[in-house]
A and B are shown apart, each in its own frame.
Chain A
Amino acid sequence: MLAVMAREIRLLPRRPALAGLVIVLPLVMLLVLGGIFRAGIPTGMAVAVIDLDRSDLSRAVTRMLDAAPELTVTHRASDLSEARSLIVSGAVRGAVLMPQNLERDITRGARPEIVTFYDNQHMSAGSLVARGARNAIDTALAGLRLSVRQGQGEAPVQAMVALQPIPMQAHALFNPAFDYVHFLLAALIPTVLQIIAAAATAYAVSLDFGPGRHPRVLMRMAGGILPAMLGKILPYTVIFLLILGLSDVALYGWLAVPLRGSLWLMALGAVLFVLASQMIGALAFVLTRDMGRAASLIAIITAPAFGFMGLGFPREAMSTLAQAWGAVIPGTWYVQLRIDQSLRATPIDISAMSVLWLTVIAGVLVALVLLRLWRLSRQQAPA
């Protein structure tokens, strides 16, 4: 087995295509993904104001909107259709309408309406805009209510208390900074690595077990199918683990993602995840014995995997079929383990389930690959 491993490592520099796939491609992906999310939460998104009142109050609200970290007031629209067109063309992500006689109606107690329109097709940006506008308008109105109460002779502190009989103390569990970069990166990097590990392993295997190759040389060298296969695959396991480790250094060191759980459990999960991903590739190849068809098989399983991990839309809310499909993909469990152990500080007994699933998936895949190889070698032997 060691001889096969040594041969594999020796051959790597002489196969630039393979070296590019297992080293250069993952590193470039790491840089691009890290770069996209480096800046953190989006700020200063463009909104339009439709100010039909042009009063001190409407100008105060506009200032509040502009001061909200999420928003920048970039346009002033004269009517709704102009604002709508600005939103549709993408010039702004939302618009706030202040009706005529806003200030007068408020002082008269007529409770006029302030309307926020936002682009919910681009849901992530749209909901941020809505939240920013809601808070800004709330602040402006609270100031108004406060001054009314103070005008009636209430002390400022007393008035503040009276404004909110049931204040809500909101706590963002596991993510106090409300920063999704950590979660996205913690899932995106393994997803991309899963694709590359599977495809590159299939390619590496194809170089020795493909049509016209002589796998028996390799088997004689190692003394059996199992050591031959392991010797073939393990060098890449080490390379992918190093890349995963590098991404962890970047994530937890450079981007300062909190690490609150057990490193050992995460490391164990990483080994199982990389092995299982590689086995997807190996199995795809030994089943099809053709790199093109193997790549298509790998694509079917690994390319849509991100959605099934439930980062955007939670797994628990998916249909049973979608949950089951996600459950057989190693990345689903590894990403869950990673997020649980790094960000959520999940108790170890709950996280052990993820590791158990990974073990089962990796085990079944290894067994399938060996079974297929054993059959192939029996078919070849009489010939």
Chain B
Amino acid sequence: MSSLASAFRAELAAVLGDRQVRLIVLLALVIYAVIYPLPYRAELLRDVPVVLVDQDGSTASADLARRVDASEAVALTHRAPDMAQATRLVHERRAYGVMLIPDGFERALLRGDQSPVALYADASYFLMYQRVMQGAAVPLRQMGAEIEAGRLIAQGTPRAVAAAQVSPATQIEVPLFNPAAGYATYVLPAAFVLILQQTMLMGLALAATRRGSLPGHPVWRLLGRAGAWLTIWSGLLPVYLIVLPVLYGLPILGNPGALMMLGLPFLLATGLLAQLVAALFRRAEIVQVVLLALGLPFFFLSGFAWPAEAIPAHLNAVAQLIPSTAAIDGFVRVTQMGASLPEIAPILWHLWALTALLGASVLMVDALRTGKRSS
């Protein structure tokens, strides 16, 4: 029991007393909290610039251009006489799409023929492409429906019947959670979990590389250390997952109880992983560089930004051994989607199983090392 207490005190001193570890844990909080969200402060894409190439120059083409320009998603900011000049504007990133209304647009409509419009959207940016398509497709469809209904009415179909024939059912799309499709709301809650994990891994692994040996049973020593991790990070976890999101104006739906239930196994698993990282790489400089480089791959392995459905099975299996994979999923579901405890039960089990597995591995590595030392 005394070895538990001494391990607890030694670990606290190792983390809080070491200047470099303190720098990582506290400075990182300030810097990541300020720098990382910087690109996403704008949140929403409104009035994405689009070039209009109006080769028809008619009343109908002007009407269509006005409707598209009025949409929230895009704005027709440039006009170009031909596609070559329009494409150059897209290459310069001054516009993200081109709407081409061909010569004869109005004539074809008046004749009752199909009168196509071409939309070129910059697909190198997923978000831009979506906004441009959305901004143009809705007014186009509306105008098309009005024309179709007008033609039916001209043929003698009653107004109500014509409307129903043009669109027999209304299609409604309801985005659940993040209804405004804000980018910060999307990416920051997940990023904060990853940053918490990476700085915790770095701090604890550095402390572990500098640790001398302590007396006592390895299980008690490990429990003592784990107590120290929880003492320090149970203060930092709410900062990352509640205070920062509130400061950035992100919605928080979940209850603090579920947050703590997830936080406990997540912090334990991360602390244990840090011990393994330290045992594997041994030197402080190497540990830091490796963990820095791993941040992005960990983020994309977590299945948050890049759906798990698209990650090859064997890599996905490896990803399950990283605490952030389950933790990002769990924390995002609790804080952003208001998941209840039963709804995240599989994630909780996953994190506890991971904690047990990592704990056993740490003890095994410990035993191997002391075995080597004594022989």
Contact = CB atoms under 8 A, between A and B. Distances in A.
Contacts of A166: 64, 109, 114-117, 140, 143-144, 147
Contacts of A220: none
B114 A167 contact: yes
B293 A317 contact: no
Q: Is the interface of A mostly helix, strand, loop or mixed?
A: helix
Given A37-B306, A102-B169, A121-B336, A109 B148 contact: no
Given A162-B148, A314-B128, A188 B296 contact: yes
Q: Is the interface of B mostly helix, strand, loop or mixed?
A: helix
Interface in A1-57: 17, 20-21, 25, 29, 32-33, 35-45
Interface in A156-209: 161-176, 178, 180, 183-184, 188, 191-192, 195-196, 199-200, 203, 206
Nearest to A123: B186
Contact of B310 (A41, A144, A195): A41
A220 B177 CA distance: 65
Contact of A350 (B91, B130, B163, B166): B91
Given A171-B118, A188-B300, A314-B127, A292 B309 contact: no
Given A44-B309, A166-B147, A325 B38 contact: yes
Interface in B294-341: 295-297, 300-301, 304-307, 309-312, 315, 329, 332-333, 336-340
Contacts of B127: 312-314
A114 B172 contact: yes
A75 interface: no
A339 interface: yes
Contacts of A89: 333, 339, 343-344, 346
B171 to A, nearest CB: 6
Given A35-B315, A164-B144, A308-B39, A122 B307 contact: yes
B39 A322 contact: yes
B172 A39 contact: no
A111 interface: yes
A17 B310 contact: no
A192 B293 contact: yes
Given A35-B312, A45-B307, A165-B148, A319 B176 contact: no
A41 B307 CA distance: 9
Interface in B167-193: 167-179, 181, 183, 185-187
> How extensive is the interface on chain B, given as a class?
35 or more
A126 to B, nearest CB: 7
A184 B305 CA distance: 11
B23 A313 contact: no
Given A162-B148, A166-B143, A192 B307 contact: no
B309 A25 contact: no
A333 interface: no
29 contacts: A33-B297, A35-B312, A36-B300, A39-B312, A109-B160, A111-B170, A116-B173, A118-B176, A120-B175, A120-B181, A121-B177, A121-B178, A122-B332, A124-B307, A141-B171, A145-B166, A164-B148, A168-B137, A169-B117, A170-B133, A172-B129, A174-B123, A295-B292, A298-B292, A307-B38, A313-B42, A313-B127, A313-B187, A325-B38
Interface of A: 17, 20-21, 25, 29, 32-33, 35-45, 84-85, 87-90, 102, 106, 109-128, 130, 133-134, 137-138, 141, 144-145, 148-149, 161-176, 178, 180, 183-184, 188, 191-192, 195-196, 199-200, 203, 206, 291-293, 295-296, 298-300, 302-304, 306-308, 310-319, 321-322, 325-326, 339-340, 343-344, 346-347, 350
